[in-house]
Structure 1
Amino acid sequence: MRGNILIIDDSSIERKIINQAIKNRLDDINIFEVDNGLDISKKLLENNIHACVLDVMMPQKNGFQVLQEIKEDCNLMDIPVIVCTGISDKAAVEKALSLGAFDYFAKPLTEEAIKISLPLKIKNAIDLMKRKEEIIYLSYHDQLTGLYNRRFFEEELARINTRSNLPITLIMGDLNGLKLINDSFGHAMGDEVIKRVGKMMKLGSREDDIVARLAGDEFVIISPKTDEKEACKIINNIMSLLAKEKVGSVEVSISLGYGCKYNDEEKIEDVFKKAEDTMYGKKVFESQSMRGRTIKTVINTLREKSKIESEHSFRVSALCKRVGEALDLPINEINKLVSAGELHDIGKIIVDERTINKPGKLTADEWEEVKRHSEIGYRMISTVDDMTEIANYILYHHERWDGSGYPKGLKGEEIPFISRIITIADAYDAMVSERCYKDILSKEAAIEELKNNAGSQFDPDLVKIFINKVLK
C-alpha cells in the first residue's frame, strides 16, 4: 500500500529538497505539494494523505493556523503533521507540539537530516497513520468477510435514518444450513460459504448500499432511497448470483426478506423487525430444502470417499427392511428402518479417508475419531425437522445390549428398538463383506458370532429373528 505525503511550503526550493530527501530513502510514496495553507482540508481529504510536512512561516496563512485547522477537523485530526521551524526557534517548536504536531525539524536542512532523520520521521508518521487506519478498519469490519460489522451497521443506520434518505429499505439475510455444513464438512468449509455469501451480497447490491455481517450467519443491507420494487431487484440479483455458486460440492443458500420505511413516523426498529419476519417466513421453507440437498451432497461425498462404505450402507438398509417385514412392522416403521439403515454411517463424512480405508488395526486416536461418527450423524440428520426420530436411531446404533457401547452407554431396552435392529444388520454385513482391516467371514461363521454375542452386544430376541427369518 502506498503512502501519500503532502508538503506545504511556500518555497519551491525547500519543497524540492524535502521531496528529493523522501524519494531517495522511501519507496512506494506519492508526494503532493502546495505552496500555501489555503483550502488545505480539501487537499488532505482528496488525496488520502497519510502524513503532512508543514512549514511554519508562510504568507496568507501560517503553519500554526493550518495545524490548528487540521487538528480541529474530526476527519483530519489523526493525520501526523511534521512542522519545519527555524534552526533555533524553540518557541515555535513548543507551540507546534502543543497544537498537536507529530514531530518537527529545523531549516536549513543538514546533510544528516536529508539522508536520515527527515525520511525516518516521515516513515514513522506514515506507519502511525497506517496503524490507526488498520485499527479503524478492524473496528468497523468483519474480519472473515471484509464486510461492515454490527457496530458500523448500527452507527450508519442512525446516520442514514433521515427524511432525505426516504424510502429506506433494510434487507435481512440468514444463511441456510450453516450448522449442517460445519458438522458435515468442517468449519473451514463453513467459513468459505460465509465468505462466498458475503461476496455475492456485495456484488448483488448497489454501490451506495451498506452491506454488513451482523453475526455468524446473519447479514443485512441498508439501502437508502430504495422502495419495495428496488428492494426486490436487489434480492433477485443476489439470489441469481448465489444460484450459480458452490463451495466445493456444497450449494450456497440464503433466505432474504425486506422492510421499507416510507415516512418519518415509522420507527426504523419496526422496519428491521418486518425485514426479519419476512426473512424467517421464507427460511421455514428454504432452509429445509437446503438441508435436504446438503445431506444428499454428504451422502455422495461419502460414496466418493469409500465405495465399500457406500455399498455397506445400502446392504444394511436392505437387511433392516427384511427384519421389519419379518416382524410384520407397520409400513411407516419399515420406512424408518430403511432410512436409518441407509444413513447410519453418514457421520463418517468427518472421518479421514485414510482412516476409513486403513488396513489393519486403528490407533487409539483413529478409533476415537471413528467413534464420533454416530454423534456427528445425529447432529446432521436432526437438522431436518421430519427426521428427528431417524437421527436418534443413528445416534444409538453402536450401543450394546450389556451397556458397554457408545456414545451414551445405554443397555437393554433403553436402546431404541430400531437402533438394535441396525446394530445387528450392521455387524452381520461387516462380517460377511469385504473390509480392508479384516478377512471375510462365511455366513455360518458370522451366524456363530451373532449367537456368541447375543445378550452382550446384541438384543438376543432380535438375533433369533434375524437368523431364523432373515438369513434362512
Structure 2
Amino acid sequence: MGVEWHKLIGDEAQFSIEHRLLNIVLIFGFIIAVWSGVTNYLLDLDSVLVLTCIISGVIMAGLYYLSFVRKKYAVSVFLLISAVFIITPVSWILNGGVSGSIPFYIILFSSVAATVFSGFKRIVVIAYFVIISSVLLFLEYKYPFIIVGYSSNVERYIDIFIGLATILIANTVVFVIILKHYNKEHERAKKYLAQSQEAQESLLYFSYHDALTGLYNRTYFEKEVTDFGHQRESGIGVFAIDIDRLKFINDTLGHEQGDATLVYAAKVLRASFDENSTIARIGGDEFAIIVRGVTRNGMEAMYKRIHDNLQTENKKSVEIAIPLAMSIGYAYSIGIDKSKRDLLREADNKMYREKLYRKAGTEGSIIQTVKNMLSARDYDTGVHGNRLQNLIASFAIAAGIPGSAIADIQLFAEFHDVGEIGIPDRILHKPGPLAQEERAQIQRHCEIGYRIAQASSDLLPIADWILKHHEWWNGEGYPLGIKGETIPLECRIVAIADAYDAMVSDRPYRKGISHEAASEELKRCAGTQFDPALVRIFATIKGCNLD
C-alpha cells in the first residue's frame, strides 16, 4: 500500500491551499534534513554539521506537528523563517561554503518561499536569501579560513553530487505536488464558477417563470406588456383566461389536486399557441397570453382551438379529478390604436362576462357538475344512487322521517359517496384487497364529500350526513368514530339501504347475492355496524323475518 500523501498534507475542508503548501514544505524539509545528516555522516564530515542536520530535522518535525496537528499556521510560518535564517549561514560555514551543497539548498528554499508566500512577505524572504548569500560569499572571499572544508576532493564532489541530486529530486517532487494542488484548486474554481453561473441562470429563470407550471410569471408578462406598448405592430392580441372552480377544487379535494389542475391548464394552453406567443400565469387561477402578428380572424381561431383542446384533453385525462373548465376573453388591436392597459382591460372584461354567464347556466352549477362527473366516471354509481332513492322513500317514512324531509334524505342517498371523485380510479376500482395506505385514501372520501357539499348551496343541508355516513353503531366506523344515536338518523337509514343494495346488485367483478342472504347479513351486522332497531324496520318493509 502506497503512502497517502494527501492525508499528510491535510484535508481540503480544514486547510487552505497556503496551509497545505506549508505542510508539503515541512515534510520535504524534514526528509532533506535527515538525508543530509545521513550523507554527511557517511562522508565523515564535521560532526557539528551532522548535528546541525539532525537539529534541522527535529525542527521541521516539530513545525509540522504545530502546523498539521495544532493547525497553527501563522506561528509555524514565523518559526520556519526564523529557523531557516539561522540554519542557512551555519550550514554554509560548516559545509564547504560556496564549494559545497548549501547553495543548491538556498535555491530550493528561495523557490519554495516564492511559492508559499505572497506580497510583502515574499519580497522580504527572497531579499533575505539574496543578502545572506551575498554576505556569506563576501565573508568567504575575505576570510576563507572560516569555512570548514572537506578532507578530500572526493568527499567534496560526492557531497555536491548528493546535494545536487537531492535538490533536483526534491524540487521536482515539491513543485509537482504544488502544481497538482494548484490545478485542483483551479478545477474547483472552474466548477464553482460553473455552479455559480448555473445558479444565476436558475435565479434568472425563476425570476421570470412560474415554478409550478413552467410558464412565464406576472413579472415577465408586465415586462412584455411594457415592451409591446412601445412598438408599432400590424396586429396584436391579448387573451385573459381564468380557471373555473379552482377554489372549489382546493377547498374540497385539496391543494395538490388544485396544483394538478393548474399544471394541466398550462399543458392545454401550450398546445393551443405557437412558440412565438407569450403565455404567462399572472395570478392564482389567472393566465394571460400575448399574441403578435395576428389578425382578428386568427384570434377567433385561437379562441376556438383552446376550447377544442380542452374538450379533447378532458375526455382522456386521468390527471385531474374534476374536468378542467376555463373562462376566456380576448382583445385585439391593430398598431397602437389602443393603449396596452385598455387592451388588457378589454380582454379581462370579456373573460369575466363569460365567467358570469357560465355560473348562471347549468354548466356552472356545482351540483350539476358533480352529477355529470359521477355518471361519467362510473355508470353503476349513478344507477346505484337512483335505486337507493327509491329504496329510501318507504324506509325513511317507516323509520320516522317526516314526509317534508324525504326529499333531503333522497338527495343524501344520491350524493352520499360524492367524495369518491377525489379518490384515484386505480384505488377506487381495484379488484383485489386494498393496502393500508389505499384504505386510508378510500376513507378520505367522507371528508372530501363534506367539503364539496359545504361549497354548494344545494348540498349544504346534507353536508353533515355525508361526513358521517360511514360511522358504525358500535363506534368502529370512520372518520369520527361516533356511535349509537349520536350518529344522525338519516346516516343510519342510508347505511342499511346502501349496504343492502350493494349486496343484491350485480357488479362487474361479482354477481349480486339473494335477497335472503342480504337480509341475513344485515341481521348479522345489527348492533355492530347497523342500528338494530332500524334493521328490524327495514326487514319489515322488505317482507323478511329476521327473528
TM-score, structure 2 as length reference = 0.48
Say if 2:427 is the partner of 1:353. yes
Q: Paired residue for 1:23?
A: none
1:247 pairs, out of 317, 339, 348, with: 317
Distance in structure 2 (CA, Å) of the matches to 1:249 and 1:126: 37
Aligned residue in 1 for 2:263: 195
- CA apart distance, 1:147: 1.1
Structure in which a larger fraction of residues adopt strand: 1
Corresponding residue for 2:223? 155
Q: CA deviation at 1:244?
A: 1.8
Superposed CA offset, 1:230-262 (max 9, x none): 543432222122222132386443221235675
Q: Aligned partners of 2:401 and 2:347: how far apart in 1?
A: 51
Q: Distance in 1 between the 2:376 and 2:523 partners?
A: 34
What's the secondary structure of 1:386's corresponding residue?
coil
Per-residue CA deviation, residues 411-468 of structure 1 (Å, 9 max, x unaligned), is: 78876554342123234456778999xx998455446457646xx95394x5554333
| Identical residues among aligned pairs (%) | 30
Contact kept, 8 Å, 2:500 with 2:519, in 1: the verdict is no
- Residues 243, 325 of structure 2: 8 Å contact kept: yes
Runs of 5+ consecutive residues of structure 1 not aligned to the other structure: 1-111
The offset of 1:318, in angstroms, is 4.2
Partner of 1:373: 445
Offset of residue 145 of structure 1: 2.6
1:422 and 1:258, CA in 2 relative to 1: closer, same or farther beyond 3 A?
A: same
Change in 2 beyond 3 A, CA 1:127/1:407: closer
By how many angstroms is 1:177 displaced?
Answer: 4.5
In the TM superposition, 1:102-141 aligns within 5 A as: 128-141=196-209
Secondary structure of 2:241's match?
A: strand
Please tell me the residue identity of whatever aligns with 1:235.
Y
The answer on whether the counterparts of 1:173 and 1:218 sit within 8 Å (CA) in structure 2 is yes
Which residue type is aligned with residue 458 of structure 1? D
Normalised by the size of structure 1, how large is the TM-score? 0.55
Distance 1:258 1:366, change over 3 A: closer
Q: Displacement of 1:377 after TM fit?
A: 2.4
Distance 2:303 2:494 in 1: 45
Larger helix fraction of residues: 2
Question: Among residues 454, 467, 474, which one is paired with 1:395 in the alignment?
Answer: 467
1:244 is paired with a residue whose SS is: helix
| Helix, strand or coil at the partner of 2:470 | coil
Provide closer, same or farther for how the CA distance between residues 227 and 202 of structure 1 changes in structure 2, counting only shifts above 3 A. Answer: same
Find out whether 1:218 has 2:286 as its counterpart: yes
Q: Does 1:280 align with 2:355?
A: yes
Go from structure 1 to structure 2 and tell me whether the alpha carbon gap of 1:143 and 1:428 turns closer, same or farther (over 3 Å shift): same
Q: In the superposition, relative to structure 1, how do residues 158 and 275 fare at CA in structure 2: closer, same or farther (>3 Å)?
A: farther
1:466 maps to 538
Q: Pick from 214, 217, 241 the counterpart of residue 173 of structure 1.
A: 241
Give the CA deviation at 1:470.
Answer: 4.1
Paired position in structure 2 for 1:323: 395
Return the alpha-carbon distance in structure 2 between the equivalents of residues 231 and 355 of structure 1: 43
Q: Is contact 1:142–1:149 with CA below 8 Å preserved after alignment?
A: yes
1:324/1:333 contact within 8 Å kept: no
Deviations 1:53-87 (A, max 9, x none): xxxxxxxxxxxxxxxxxxxxxxxxxxxxxxxxxxx
Query: Which residue number corresponds to residue 159 of structure 2?
Result: none
Q: Structure 2 CA distance, aligned partners of 1:124 and 1:160?
A: 38
SS of corresponding position for 2:458: helix
Q: RMSD across aligned C-alpha pairs, in angstroms? A: 5.2
What amino acid does structure 2 have at the position aligned with 1:156? Answer: E
Letter in 2 for 1:263: K
Shift of 1:154: 2.6
Corresponding residue SS for 2:304: helix
Distance 1:299 1:189, change over 3 A: farther
Cα distance, 1:136 vs structure 2 = 0.8
C-alpha change, 1:312 and 1:172, in structure 2 (3 Å) is same
> For residue 329 of structure 2, what is the aligned residue in structure 1?
257
Specify whether residues 154 and 410 from structure 1 end up closer, same or farther in structure 2 by C-alpha distance, changes over 3 A only: farther
Q: Provide the C-alpha distance between the structure 1 equivalents of 2:263 and 2:288, rounded to a whole number of angstroms.
A: 14
> For this pair of structures, how many residues does the alignment match?
350
Report if aligned partners of 1:211, 1:220 keep a CA contact under 8 Å in 2.
yes
- 2:227 & 2:497 partners in 1: Cα distance? 64
Deviation at 1:302, TM superposition (A): 5.3
| AA matched with 2:355 | Y
Residues 1:145 and 2:217 are matched in the alignment? no
Alpha-carbon distance in 1 for matches of 2:543, 2:362: 43
Q: Distance in 2 between matches of 1:339 and 1:117?
A: 74
How far does residue 282 in structure 1 lie from its aligned partner after superposition?
4.2
In the superposition, relative to structure 1, how do residues 471 and 190 fare at CA in structure 2: closer, same or farther (>3 Å)?
Answer: farther
